[in-house]
Amino acid sequence: MGMYDDILIDGRHGQTKALGRGLRTLGVGDVVALVQAPLTEEEMDGYYAGTWNGLRPETTFQCGVYPGGWLVVVDGVLRDWVDSPVDGIPLFSNIGRSLE
């Protein structure tokens, strides 16, 4: 529901909100950034006021994708869609919240 980005990789189609919710269609090789969704009342106030950024500093990470699996991003470039998390790479939810 709401805004998200579509992911198309190797015939798989999914959605995530962790990459900015720009209504883009993304695939392997696209440059992306991790964006955390506002969840607290203070963050939501900033979001509605246009001052919430949510941009995370991580450039190598994994984030959840619906209907399942993980997007692997290395140095700001989308590299893969895997079924299980890759060891040693920071893990984030499909809304950009840390799972570690």
Domain ranges of the chain: 5-92
Q: pLDDT (tens digit, 9 = 90+) per residue, 11-51?
A: 999 999 999 888 899 999 999 999 887 788 998 898 888 88
DSSP3 helix / strand / coil % (the chain, rounded to 5)? 10, 35, 55
Q: pLDDT (tens digit, 9 = 90+) per residue, 46-97?
A: 888 888 788 887 899 999 999 999 999 999 999 999 999 999 999 999 998 8
Helix or strand (DSSP H, E) at 45 = helix 41-49
Strand 25-26 versus strand 5-9 pairing type: parallel
In terms of Cα–Cα distance, which of 12, 1, 100 is closest to 56?
100
- Could you tell me the pTM of the whole model? 0.86
